[in-house]
Structure 1
Amino acid sequence: MRPRYYTCHCQSGWKLDADKRTCIKDETPFLMVVRESVIFGIPLDPADPSNNAMAPVSGISQGQDIDFDDQQQLIFWVQNLRSIWQVKTSGANRSEFAPAAFIGSPAGLAFDWISRIMYYTNPTVNTIEVIRVDGDQHYRKTLITSTGKPEGAGQPFGIALDPARGKLFWTDKGSDNGVPPKVGSANMDGGNAVNLYTGNLANIGFIATDISTMKLYWGVAGSGLIECGTMDGVSRVVLVSGLSHPWGLTVYQSHLYYTDLDYEVIERVDKVTGANTLVMRSGMAGLRALKVHARDASAGTTNACSSNNGGCPHLCLPKPGNQKTCACTTGFVPSQDASRCELYDSFAIVSTTKYIRGFHINSSDHSEAMVPVGGTSNIKGTLDLHIESGFVYWADNSTSSSNKGIRRAKIDGGGYSTVLNSGVGKGGIHGLAVDWVAGMKPPNFPVMHPLSLQIQADLQAQGAKTSKPHYVVFPL
């Protein structure tokens, strides 16, 4: 027998249409919340105690910052301080957008929804970088680095944008080379970097913009404050005090929302006065970032890059005054007529314990000539290059035996893959050479000389305690 009465329900983030039988996307603004192991959405209505304003994203690892692409209905987040992930707002198609091997250890995210590029901070290498979201090739470029001047990047953390005006803003924990803890700003092509606010900013956290009033908001864990300042660096006030560890924060309409890691709460205050504190959620351990899933109509919808990528071959970076800079991805330079981007003809590849980088050897600034390979793996200075295919090969001696092996990636940032990840042994790989004469063999890998792997395995089997061997292959 069939029941005579029934009620239809929709998944989180969706609602019933007028016919009460069809589910449609719920476009009501809501608060995206990041905890260490889950991302979920809560309504902006304090009277609604539910946590199902979006399909929850569970099983994440050490979640950090978050942003969204409303055009493609995507959510981006940082996890493990090393990679950027994405998922549809419906919860489908979860994937790693930018692997740690290419972007190092990102902390803060900011999506330019007009130019369709993602900005992120990289505190471990003291940079602010950008990556293109659309297309198969995610072009990327380093915009701001540690220059040895106070205006450069120290340990950049939070980041926020005003894409219609072509400005970016970031918080910086400072460094030992002259960069103070600060709130900084720059054009969105990385130019004209200035320090807006310094002093009493120990352990500064994330930053949020209120584009309608041209104000910035940031948390200072060292003093338990949330402060507010104008985008021109002129006026600075304390908005909220008496907190323990303010961290994530976001502004929407007349309210500021923020998390306190120690008190385990999400709270709301008046964005102008800091008064009328309201607890939105409490007893939530592991709170991190949060952001309202909505676009402010006053933020603008166009800039010099909003149509056809601004006519640029790789990256279009907006600037104030409806201007733009066409930039090539790391490792490429503009052609003479600026109509295309070309590879550097010669450069040096250098490896450290954590990164592999290429530097142009014929320019005065020794600019980066390849997309850096980084992340949290332990690179022991063992690498080789197959020039014809454009691949760099390196030994990954991670502390986890399951991650040890040989990896490869193209100098333009594509083609990241694992060549070998079994039978490596506890000591890892300490010698590697590509046989460039034998060339490409199925399945399209240059011949990897086995001598170093075999000798290292023999040494481990014998319990030998010798210096680590290195090898060079001379093909006949």
Structure 2
Amino acid sequence: MSCTCFVALLAALTLKSSRQVEGTIPEQFLAFSQDDSKIGFAYIDRYPTASVTGMNPLEDVSATQLDYDAFSQELLWADTNKGVISVDMIQGGHRRNIAEGFAELSAIAVDWVSRLIYFSDHLEEILGVARLDGRYIKTLQESVAVSSIALDPENGIMYWTDEKLISSNDKARIVRSYMNGHMQPPPFQTFDDTTKVRGLALQNSNTVYWAQYYSSFLSSGWTIKRKDTSSILATTVTTLTENTFYQMVLHSGFLYWVDGTTSVTTVESSGIDEQSANFYTSVAALTGVMVYNSTRQGGSNTCSSSSNCGQLCLPTPNYRVCACAYGNLQANGSCEAPEDYLMVTTDTVIRAFDTNITKDRLNDVTAPRMIGSGAETLEYDQNTDTILYCDHMLGNLVGLEPDGSSRTLIRWMGTRVRGLAVDWSSDLIYYTDEETQSINVVSRDGKKRAIILDLNGSSSPTEIVVDPESKMMFWLESYLLVHRIDKSPMTGIQSSDPVFPKSFAVSTSVNALAFSTHSKRLFWTSTNNYLVTETFTIESCDQAGNNVIVHADGSDSIAIPFGEVKVC
């Protein structure tokens, strides 16, 4: 379509649009994020376009992906600098974070029918989902590099890009899956191994649009393509010479996108090799774009009626899927945690395993919960039903809700805490101090603090667990390059048990320690220093150091660079 026709069309839309009352939210408008930490608004149905009357920009925002929920009249965005998904009313004043702890948040998409939000973390290589209020965070796919997500909630279908290339045979692709994450092979579209794919957009469930990167000796840039779900070949809509591409949206037969310049660019979506046109020029470079339309988000799906799902209801074309962010799924759709589950942190992610399941039947009790970076200690407080961990980068003691939905700063510990244990019978916190090589205790309010066992430089204590019923504590220490487990009464008097210290081979590094008050067993994770691929083993023994059980080993292909483990 020529530029003259484009101007004429926008002029006609302007004449047909109703006059907006100042201070109200128009039925539809353009929203865009700027690199000067603002989200601005412009008319979508007027030419020349201008900022929306009576709508002030949202400030202090670092966003690269935008979406909205018309029901609540809220905007949602991915804040890559803070690693959070944030939400605010369109007119501001009610900002909050609904999900935190992302390493590199790369995409978000709102399912307005099922009241869900889908997200991806490019660095952690996961695709996940949560309720729209941020509760019940669940990972749907692991080991994927997703940069864009497009949803068709009414039909229970989603599309997402995957640029994860493990071997020379792998190719970047666009994946079609049900909205519970189950892929529907073959991939909707595959690319060569150098292609980057961005800006997925859907039209009437039948046509997919995307931008793919091209590079040659003469030029480089992005090509916007479209492909019907029944077609084999894709059609080129337009070709761009810019080297960046952030987000694209489809509205009323036109595509709108931002590419790091100050312009929102557009082109007719049904064209072939069209010339794009500048639609709106901002005062700062743009990193995200969306079109708010209060009438577009309607319809129903398999989760619209009473789902009877305890935590998450995920739609598919013909049925709904109940899913658990934590706990095991029951026949009635509820989620129930086992008596014991083993929690493991890999510095940025918490995972959980059922302690009654051996390595031959290993599966997660819960999907990984992202906690940000620096988690080196982990504990569960059964009195408050809170997961505790200490951030070794900042020295903060942090509380995490079991569903992974929120974090609370409890206190600054002020030292290098390597181990953490809660005595639920007295509300005391035991911890190991790497600097003083000692085991300490502090009251929950932080007013009373004491050293209960000074190891006098003979060893360096790391992990610690306590059993308030037997009044014993166990800790992991390093002595002359050998890892071992030792124990003593919780009063700090050194034990004379001949089985302890329990030592390990020089080739074995023991990384973490846990104790089950239910089975009265010690659990630990270890790695073999002589293996090229760094995998880990989970084992347990009784309090006497006997009856060792292997729960998971390297054959499970779960890599843990370093981490912590606790039984809850």
TM over 0.5: yes
1:38 corresponds to: 38
**For each residue in 1:143-190, what CA deviation from the matched residue of structure 2 results, as whole angstroms up to 9, or x when unmatched?**
2223xxxxxxx2011001011111000112223256521111100111
Once residues 337 and 93 of structure 2 are traced to their aligned partners in structure 1, the CA distance between those partners, rounded to angstroms, is 37
SS in 2 for 1:164: helix
Contact 2:397-2:413 within 8 A present in 1 as well: no
1:327 corresponds to: 323
- What amino acid does structure 2 have at the position aligned with 1:255? F
Contact 1:371-1:412 within 8 A present in 2 as well: no
Once residues 234 and 458 of structure 2 are traced to their aligned partners in structure 1, the CA distance between those partners, rounded to angstroms, is 60
Q: Please state how far the C-alpha of 1:414 moved relative to its aligned partner.
A: 4.9
Is 2:58 the counterpart of 1:57?
Answer: yes
Once residues 80 and 320 of structure 1 are traced to their aligned partners in structure 2, the CA distance between those partners, rounded to angstroms, is 32
Cα distance, 1:451–1:271 mapped onto 2, change above 3 Å: closer
1:270 corresponds to: 268
Cα distance, 1:42–1:366 mapped onto 2, change above 3 Å: farther
Range that drifts further, 251-260 or 280-289: 280-289
2:341 corresponds to: 347
Q: Please state how far the C-alpha of 1:232 moved relative to its aligned partner.
A: 4.8
- Superposition CA RMSD, Å: 3.0
Cα distance, 1:259–1:96 mapped onto 2, change above 3 Å: same
**For each residue in 1:172-217, what CA deviation from the matched residue of structure 2 results, as whole angstroms up to 9, or x when unmatched?**
22232565211111001112343111114622222111126x2111
Cα distance, 1:372–1:439 mapped onto 2, change above 3 Å: farther
Is 2:160 the counterpart of 1:163?
Answer: no
**For each residue in 1:327-360, what CA deviation from the matched residue of structure 2 results, as whole angstroms up to 9, or x when unmatched?**
22x221222x424210133332222232232233
Structure number having the greater strand percentage: 2
Structure 1: give runs of 5+ residues left out of the alignment. 1-13, 18-22, 147-153, 441-446, 459-464
2:313 corresponds to: 316
Is 2:450 the counterpart of 1:449?
Answer: no
- What amino acid does structure 2 have at the position aligned with 1:186? S
Q: Please state how far the C-alpha of 1:123 moved relative to its aligned partner.
A: 1.9
Is 2:419 the counterpart of 1:432?
Answer: yes
**For each residue in 1:25-75, what CA deviation from the matched residue of structure 2 results, as whole angstroms up to 9, or x when unmatched?**
3333111112231111111146234233643111123x1111111101111
Once residues 271 and 467 of structure 1 are traced to their aligned partners in structure 2, the CA distance between those partners, rounded to angstroms, is 68
Contact 2:197-2:212 within 8 A present in 1 as well: yes
2:139 corresponds to: 142
Q: Please state how far the C-alpha of 1:373 moved relative to its aligned partner.
A: 4.1
How many pairs were matched up?
Answer: 418
Cα distance, 1:72–1:451 mapped onto 2, change above 3 Å: same
- What amino acid does structure 2 have at the position aligned with 1:280? F
- What amino acid does structure 2 have at the position aligned with 1:176? I
Once residues 418 and 457 of structure 1 are traced to their aligned partners in structure 2, the CA distance between those partners, rounded to angstroms, is 24
2:559 corresponds to: none
Contact 1:221-1:247 within 8 A present in 2 as well: no
Cα distance, 1:383–1:467 mapped onto 2, change above 3 Å: farther
Cα distance, 1:471–1:366 mapped onto 2, change above 3 Å: closer
1:86 corresponds to: 87
Once residues 406 and 161 of structure 2 are traced to their aligned partners in structure 1, the CA distance between those partners, rounded to angstroms, is 33
Q: Please state how far the C-alpha of 1:249 moved relative to its aligned partner.
A: 0.6
Once residues 112 and 424 of structure 2 are traced to their aligned partners in structure 1, the CA distance between those partners, rounded to angstroms, is 47
Q: Which structure is larger by alpha-carbon Rg, 1 or 2?
A: 2
Q: TM-score, normalised by structure 2?
A: 0.67
**For each residue in 1:1-27, what CA deviation from the matched residue of structure 2 results, as whole angstroms up to 9, or x when unmatched?**
xxxxxxxxxxxxx9865xxxxx66333
**Percent identical residues:** 21
Cα distance, 1:92–1:466 mapped onto 2, change above 3 Å: farther
Is 2:190 the counterpart of 1:189?
Answer: no
Contact 1:371-1:413 within 8 A present in 2 as well: no
Once residues 152 and 180 of structure 2 are traced to their aligned partners in structure 1, the CA distance between those partners, rounded to angstroms, is 13
Q: TM-score, normalised by structure 1?
A: 0.79
1:70 corresponds to: 70
Contact 1:258-1:266 within 8 A present in 2 as well: yes
Contact 1:430-1:456 within 8 A present in 2 as well: no
- What amino acid does structure 2 have at the position aligned with 1:317? L
